[in-house]
Chains A and B, each alone.
Chain A
Amino acid sequence: MRRLFFAALTAAVLTGNLRGQSGDASAGSRIFATNCAGCHGSDARGGERAPNIATARNVASLADSELANFVRNGVPGAGMPAFGFLGEEGIRNVVAFLRELQGKTSAVKITGDDGVGHSLFFGSAGCSECHMMHGQGGFIASDLSDYGSGIAPERIRAAVLEPETFVSSGTEVVEVLTAHGETLRGVLRAEDNFTVVLQARDGRYRRLAKSGLKRITHTGHSLMPGDYKSRLSPKEVDDIVSYLVRSAGSIDPASRRKKGAGQ
């Protein structure tokens, strides 16, 4: 784990040097809000109409010039319009802002012990019962493999300690009472005016017509335990945060483009 982190740091330094002239990220943030956020989401982690471009490795690993090309020319056939009208400076600025969202411009201070964090994640803290890291763990909650990339440690800490504030559609637990008096609970996976689809812990999906329900309750909670504040010490939370950040790692564009590296 430690070695991985040093490698990541080296990569960050290297890419910083390679990038050379960069744009004005704060100007880029305004451009992003008006032109990009509508589809990619305000944090660039994906929206209804366009993918995650903040932590998706294939995007984060692109060179500035490649990102600029996407902005300038769009992706014909995939719904991404061309933004050449932003001008070269505008494009440079929006790329600079995207780099910030990708967490590529600032060093993050990590204080915990990621080895201990790993043990907690897969052990007594029980995170891996529901969450997955690099193919290991549960499936009912989100995959955290890339979660720690480009996100402030404070934000991760808050998500662990105050999970109610992070419930989104697709993670909320919903409880229904059927016409036959049965109570069913599951994670809400799809909903419209007519039906809900819940997923149970074993992975089974259940589609229910709302017309056949006596009651449907959106609990406002995800499956995330609400008691980590008392179950984990501040040090243990730090350790878990460190584990998430360090094993998400960073991406070294140079290594990915080495001839034959990918193929």
Chain B
Amino acid sequence: MRARLQLISRKVVLGLACSLSIVSSASAQTVAKQGDDVAAHAMLQGTKLLDNWPSYNGDYTGRRFTGLTQVTPANASQLQAQWVFHSRNAGILEATPLVIDGVMYVTGSNDAYAIDAATGKVLWHHVRSVTQGLIDDASGHINRGVALLGTRLYMQTDNAHLLCLDARSGNLLWDVSYASGNRNYGATSAPLVVKDKVLVGTSGGDDGVRGFVAAFNAKTGKEVWRFWTIPAPGEPGSETWPQGTAYQHGGGTTWMPGTYDPELNTIYWGTSNPSPDFDGSVREGDNLYTNCVLALDPDTGKLKWHFQFTPHDLNDYDATETPVLIDAPYKGKLRKLLIEANRNGFVYILDRVTGEFLQATQFAQTQNWAKGIDAKGRPIRTDLIPSAEGTRMCPSYAGGTNWYSPTYSERTRLFYFMSLDDCSIFKAKTEDFEEGHAFYSTGAAHLPTEHNRKYLNAYNLVTGKFVWRYAQTGDTHSFAGVLSTATGLVVFGNDAEEFEAVDGISGRSLWHFNLGQQVHASPMSYAVDGVQYFAIAAGSDLFTFALPKQTIHAGVQKRD
């Protein structure tokens, strides 16, 4: 029953002239000051994350470091669940929600939702059916979230369309299909807004598509540029492929949002493994620009530099992990750095101005595909390659780490990320590409005898040493990311379907909550009406956490 405190029969003619006014007032409990601009450029360019979380990684640096200070190592043990949003239609949520002015925006499959970030109530819901007939990752209808600019919201669909919705209503403004010519294309990522453009990529790197990053005019949806990650014959880099049509099915997809340095006017975008995954005999050469981080000009799509982590990859070691941008003293000099924990089992530091390789440290404790990384950053391979009968190689096909978020804490000056210690039996067999079928040529399997385990790692990039590693208990099926806070906390999804907080300096566990479902998502933090929240998706639900009101109140009084 709806509470009708007083029902006055007030015959008001509501129309064009009607005054639908919500007067701004200090007395009413506010939420969202969501007016003409939901997300302005200035907000997107900021590097201090407080109440709002305006893009997939929070800010353009990819650090996932919140400046909010309400939750501390001293009070984290009091965190409580606040509300749960159940998506009803999605398989498993992999999105990081965005929050602006008290309104949260999140996706589940092809659906988008606006949610009151303090109560979890749905404000609008844009419905779009999932696409039938997709294959591989796209057929899971995974979606990692939205991008916002002005009053507009952008998302990708499972069949690689870019949708522009009105952020105030969820109404569809336009719909652009951006990947044609091969029906193995799909999309799973969140778009990235850079200036007046929306940037997208695709999935299908295991399915014989040709990868690209494409930029669209944020107003009109008109394509502005497209950078093909696999060069056509005659283009620079094409010498790293055999002659013929292999490049058309070469993979190098772009299935995670990139990061952006406004000062250098450069975006950093990771590319996937080459296709076919395990049979390298049909693609002799380094296979540029697969397994790379690409430094692109966001205005033109022109390549400034590239760094290839795994030339001629044979093990599905996508380089789509977040390229985190930090400015830090490195060997006595303040440098603009890029740090990336790569799926191949090494954590890399590059100079992000030039792409110069600075160092690589092995984090995978069992690793046998490379003897090491040479002075230029190129791996020195062992003799192991996938074979007809199967070859045990490490890291496994799920990677030493993967797309789940790392974080860099400006408070502790440490880089944190989840890793997986595991090996796979890699098999290879030459096959022809066929639309409608995956293009692994052939497969990878997990041996029950492996002692696989996940870790939360704390890496000091100055010393190149791991300060601590927190071994996880669980089934190693989690794909959960990490977030750090200005109070020195690190929060993450652990391997036992739980959300957990640890002290960033010591790695000591402070609090955990059983989400009861697998976590395939990365956490974020925001604040509404003076309350700091953490949010993380698990299964088909999204959970939020905050301190009890009394603790917050006591904290405020203490500061006064």
Q: Are A49 and B20 touching (Cβ within 8 A)?
A: no
The reply to whether B123 and A190 form a contact with Cβ atoms under 8 Å apart is yes
Chain B 12-49 interface residues, beta-carbon cutoff 8 Å to A? 12-16, 18-23, 25, 27-36, 38
State A183–B22 Cα separation when bound (angstroms). 8
Q: Is the CB of A197 within 8 A of B116?
A: yes
Number of interface residues of A (CB under 8 A): 72
A221 in contact (CB, < 8 A) = yes
**Residue contact A51 to B127, C-beta cutoff 8 Å:** yes
B513 to chain A, nearest CB (A): 23
Q: Is the CB–CB distance between B35 and A260 below 8 Å?
A: no
Contact assessment for A223 and B20 in the assembled complex, using a CB-CB cutoff below 8 Å: yes
Q: Are B29 and A208 in contact (CB under 8 A)?
A: yes
Are B172 and A263 in touch, CB under 8 angstroms? no
The smallest C-beta distance from A70 to any residue of chain B, in angstroms, reads 9
In contact, A135 and B172 (Cβ under 8 angstroms): yes
From A182, A199, A202, contact of B123 by CB (8 A): A199
B169 and A185: CB pair below 8 A? no
Digitize A27-50: 1 where CB-to-B-CB distance is under 8 Å, 0 elsewhere.
Answer: 000000000000000000010011
Q: Are A219 and B121 in contact (CB under 8 A)?
A: no
Q: Is A203's CB under 8 angstroms from B35's CB?
A: yes
Contact B27 A215 (CB under 8 A): no
How far, in whole Å, are A190 and B8 apart by their CA atoms in the complex?
21
Which of chain A's residues have a CB closer than 8 A to the CB of B169? 132, 139-140, 143, 203
Query: B5's closest neighbor in chain A, by CB?
Result: A216
A126 at the interface (CB under 8 A from B): yes
Q: Does B103 lie at the interface of the complex (its beta carbon under 8 Å from any beta carbon of A)?
A: yes
Query: For the side of the interface on B, what is the size category?
Result: 35 or more
Q: What is the CA–CA distance of A72 and B104 in the complex, to the nearest angstrom?
A: 36
Q: Is the CB–CB distance between A126 and B16 below 8 Å?
A: yes
In whole angstroms, what is the CA distance A216 to B6 when docked?
Answer: 6
Q: Give the shortest distance, in Å, between B270 (CB) and chain A (any CB).
A: 24
B residues whose Cβ falls under 8 Å from a Cβ of A: 2-8, 10, 12-16, 18-23, 25, 27-36, 38, 88-91, 102-103, 116, 118-119, 121-124, 127-132, 151, 159-160, 164, 166-169, 171-174, 177, 179-183, 185
- A49-B88, A51-B129, A217-B6 known, 12 other contacts, Cβ within 8 Å: A139-B166, A139-B169, A185-B20, A185-B21, A190-B116, A206-B22, A207-B31, A208-B28, A223-B18, A225-B14, A260-B183, A263-B177
| Interface residue ranges, A against B (CB under 8 Å) | 46, 49-52, 56, 58-59, 62, 66, 77-79, 126, 129, 132, 135, 139-140, 143, 145, 169, 173, 175, 178-180, 182-187, 189-193, 195, 197-210, 212-213, 215-227, 259-260, 262-263
Top 7 A-B pairs, shortest CB-CB distance: A225-B15, A203-B168, A58-B129, A139-B169, A190-B121, A180-B27, A207-B31
